[in-house]
Amino acid sequence: MTETVARHDVVIVGAGPAGMTAAVYTGRALRSTLVVEKGIPGGQLNETDRIENWPGVAEPTSAPDLMAALRTQVERLGAEIVQDEVLGIEPGRQVHRVVMPRRAVEARAIILAPGSRPRALSTEGAARLTGRGVSYCATCDGFFFQGKRVVVVGAGDSGLMEALFLTRFADSVAIVVRHPKEDPRAIRASGVLRQRAASHPKIRFLWNRDVAEVVGERGVTAIRLRRLDTGEIEEVPADGIFVNVGHMPQTDFLRGSIPLDADGYIVTDSRLRTSVAGIFAAGDARIDAHRYAQAVIAAGEGATAALEAELYLAE
Amino acid sequence: MTETVARHDVVIVGAGPAGMTAAVYTGRALRSTLVVEKGIPGGQLNETDRIENWPGVAEPTSAPDLMAALRTQVERLGAEIVQDEVLGIEPGRQVHRVVMPRRAVEARAIILAPGSRPRALSTEGAARLTGRGVSYCATCDGFFFQGKRVVVVGAGDSGLMEALFLTRFADSVAIVVRHPKEDPRAIRASGVLRQRAASHPKIRFLWNRDVAEVVGERGVTAIRLRRLDTGEIEEVPADGIFVNVGHMPQTDFLRGSIPLDADGYIVTDSRLRTSVAGIFAAGDARIDAHRYAQAVIAAGEGATAALEAELYLAE
């Protein structure tokens, strides 16, 4: 059994917008607070090049700058942030254990804010150009593609919604579909969306193809597609590519201890309480929140979870 | 009938954190957006002297500074903010009318974010010293009273919760109660809270009194209380007074057009949709949100309502 080295009022798992905002509130309530983050604070925000929809930030900022400000704020209010990986939670009656590779800590309350990640496009150039034309969020980045040509990967409901949303900005939107047009599996979206996308003058479908390479030096300039019938490669000029092939909540470490839904999202009530007393969840790994995947919505949930944790601790 | 002078994609009622964040999102989605605010943008935030729990603002800021930044951001993203009073909403099928004293505008979608106001203490000195020791929010301002003496007005559940919360900061917390100790109406809070408050070493009850005056020049220095049996005035030295005598959602203009609950809060589903298609609500005038009354939670709701309005408009 890993040695338990400390006890905190609140342990927060994840230092994205939800976890950091929760820490602002619990720190400010003078609750001893430990934030554990396995990567770089900021969560999925770090995938975004330029942020201009964080309310109160008048001029566009960068994810590192916003997170640096949040970190300063959190630490000034007394919370501690450590880089470590939570391997599991062991719920208890009065106190819970949070297990990391070389130690464990006790927590009277836990706020789970591990976030989610978009399923990545694994083709050549995709990782290198993420935030430079490769985007996983049309709501976040669509605005930067006014008058541009974009490609969308993913033809489910959210892929087609994003394609339609992108027509508000882009001159042309090409949707890459892995199946031939006549294949009933080609588009998994609802009939209404399919109809609207098919009849939209800015949208065209590129059937029976997948993405072979994202091309560009400083930014995306073209997408190389592979025709799945012939294997032939063709190049489509494009300024951006929006990838919509699903999200993965980062909740594997909770399996067996906290109820998750079939897709791995943390189940809570409307007050963000899991079924375990004293354990709360906030942000994109939580059912409902992932529908939006927006930083300020996750931040609001972090504040809610912190206020509910305070009520719980005061009981 | 008032002349209808313009049509917008989205009209937002209220320029507090919820309405302004909604405008960031609808403006950025290139939806023509009009924000109507009857007073000063900022809503209830303007009652707070110093804000340090708005995430991403590393150093404490003032409500006017934060709202100025939000205003710059909203206007840069294309939304228009006007000072006017909405007298009523006339829901329609494809388009709704928003009626103001000298004009009406049409809106394909409406986001209601009128906020709420705490019931004010009307005694002498209270209005003048609001934000300078007179506070309507312990979660917001308790942190500034470390080592101080505070008075709490209101002995319902939330009054006692706030009193207990304030013991984390203040050296002493005196709760003013309008009834004698033996009167069953004296404390309207639940038994557990009453018990915890009664046994707390920092808390004392001042029975059968009400507030006659808040005393102080630049900040609160004392509270004058009136004994309700004798009429005698007594002065209690104090650095702050927290008022907890209820909130009033600013929703009178919606009566008859949008479903409200018994206390006047706007009823929505979890996606912030009212029962009228195309009309959404966000922030402290909405059921559920007023439980917290925190700016960043209202902001998250503003973003949610805007994303749901965009889905509605795209349909």
DSSP SS3 for B154:
coil
Between chain A and chain B, how many beta carbons pairs sit less than 8 Å apart? 134
pLDDT band at A188 (very low <50, low <70, confident <90, very high): confident
B21 CB neighbours in chain A (<8 A) are: 55, 296
> Which residue, A25, A108, A39, is CA-closest to A74?
A25
- Binning pLDDT at 50, 70 and 90, where does residue A190 land? confident
Does A83 contact chain B (CB < 8 Å)?
A: no
A52 part of contact set with chain B, CB < 8 Å? yes
C-alpha to C-alpha distance for A76 and B52, rounded to whole angstroms:
10
Cα dihedral across residues B263, B269, B275, B281: positive or negative: positive
Least Cα separation, residue B45 to chain A (angstroms): 13
Residue of A146, A296, A307, A311 for testing the chain B interface, max B β-carbons within 10 Å: A296
| Closest by Cα among B85, B91, B137 to B114 | B85
Question: B141 and chain A: CB distance < 8 Å anywhere?
Answer: no
Pairing of strands A172-176, A203-206: parallel
- The predicted pLDDT at position A49 comes to 67
**CB-neighbour burial class of residue B133 (10 A; exposed 0-12, middle 13-18, buried 19+):** buried
- Stronger pLDDT, B232 or A40, i.e. the higher one: B232
Over range A179-201, report the average pLDDT.
84
Contact B53 A25 (CB under 8 A): yes
Kindly tell me if the per-residue pLDDT of A44 is higher than 90: no
Express each pLDDT in A54-90 by its tens digit. 998 888 888 889 999 999 999 999 999 999 999 999 9
Q: What is the pLDDT of residue A1?
A: 59
Domain boundaries, chain B: 4-117+247-314, 120-243
pLDDT of residue B1: 59
Fold adopted by A4-117+247-314:
FAD/NAD(P)-binding domain (3.50.50)
Fold agreement (A4-117+247-314, A120-243)? yes
Residue B215's DSSP bridge partners are: B222
Over chain A, what HEC string results? Answer: CCCEEEEEEEEEECCCHHHHHHHHHHHHCCCCEEEEECCCCCHHHHHCCCECCCCCCCCCECHHHHHHHHHHHHHHCCCEEEECCCCEEECCCCCEEEECCCCEEEEEEEEECCCEEECCCCCECCCCCECCCEECCHHHHHHHHCCCEEEEECCCHHHHHHHHHHCCCCCEEEEECCCCCCCCCCCCCCHHHHHHHHCCCCEEEECCEEEEEEEECCCEEEEEEEECCCCCEEEEECCEEEECCCEEECCHHHCCCCCECCCCCECCCCCCECCCCCEEECCCCECCHHHCCCHHHHHHHHHHHHHHHHHHHHC
Q: What is the CA radius of gyration of chain A?
A: 21
Map residue B220 onto helix, strand or coil.
strand
Q: How many CA atoms lie within 13 A of A100 on its CB side?
A: 19
* Active site positions of B, annotated: 137, 140-141
Q: With contact defined as beta carbons under 8 Å apart, do B243 and B118 qualify?
A: yes
Q: Which residues of A touch B168 (CB under 8 A)?
A: 29-30
Distance in Å, alpha carbon of A260 to nearest chain B alpha carbon: 19
On whether the CB atoms of residues A242 and A155 are closer than 8 A, the answer is no
In angstroms and rounded to an integer, the radius of gyration of the C-alpha atoms of chain B is 21
Residue with tokens 């999925």: A44
Which pair of tokens denotes residue B72? 């710059």
Q: How far apart are CA A239 and CA B86, in angstroms?
A: 43
Mutate to test the interface with B, among A67, A297, A313 (most CBs of B within 10 A): A297
- Closest among A115, A41, A207, A140 to B307, alpha carbons compared: A140
Q: Tens digit of pLDDT per residue, chain B (315 long)?
A: 567 779 999 999 999 999 999 999 999 999 999 999 998 887 777 767 678 899 988 888 888 899 999 999 999 999 999 999 999 999 999 999 999 999 999 999 999 999 999 899 999 999 999 989 999 989 889 999 999 999 999 888 788 888 999 999 999 999 999 999 888 888 777 777 888 899 999 999 999 999 999 999 999 999 999 999 999 999 999 999 999 988 899 999 999 999 999 999 999 999 999 999 999 999 999 998 888 889 999 999 999 999 999 989 987
* Mean pLDDT to the nearest integer, A280-300: 93
> Is A137 considered catalytic here?
yes
Task: Tell me the chain A residues in contact with residue B303 when contact means C-beta distances shorter than 8 Å.
Answer: 53, 55, 292, 294, 296-297, 300
Strand-pair category, A96-99 with A104-112 = antiparallel
What count of other Cβ atoms lies within 10 Å of the Cβ of residue A78?
15
Give the amino acid at A62. Answer: S
For residues A218 and B164, give the distance between their C-alpha atoms in angstroms, rounded to a whole number: 56
CA distance A147 to chain B (A): 13
Asked if B83 reaches chain A (Cβ–Cβ under 8 Å), the answer is no
* Range B289-292 contact pairs with CB under 8 angstroms and sequence separation of 24 or more: B289/B18, B290/B116, B290/B247, B290/B249, B290/B265, B292/A303, B292/A304, B292/A307
Cβ atoms of B265 and B249 within 8 Å: the answer is yes
Q: What is the pLDDT of residue A9?
A: 97
Nearest to A163 by CA among A207, A197, A211: A197
Judge whether A141 counts as a catalytic residue: yes
Contact A83, A13 (CB under 8 A): no
**Which residues make Cβ contacts (< 8 Å) with residue B129, sequence separation at least 6?**
B214, B216, B219, B220
The CATH superfamily assigned to A120-243 is: FAD/NAD(P)-binding domain (3.50.50.60)
Q: Check CB contact of B55 with chain A, cutoff 8 Å.
A: yes
Q: Quick one: DSSP state of residue B120?
A: P
Q: Is B141 helix (H, G, I), strand (E, B) or coil?
A: helix
Residue from A9, A49, A84, A137 carrying the catalytic annotation:
A137
Give the rounded percent of residues in chain A with a pLDDT score beyond 90: 75
Identity of the residue numbered A218: R
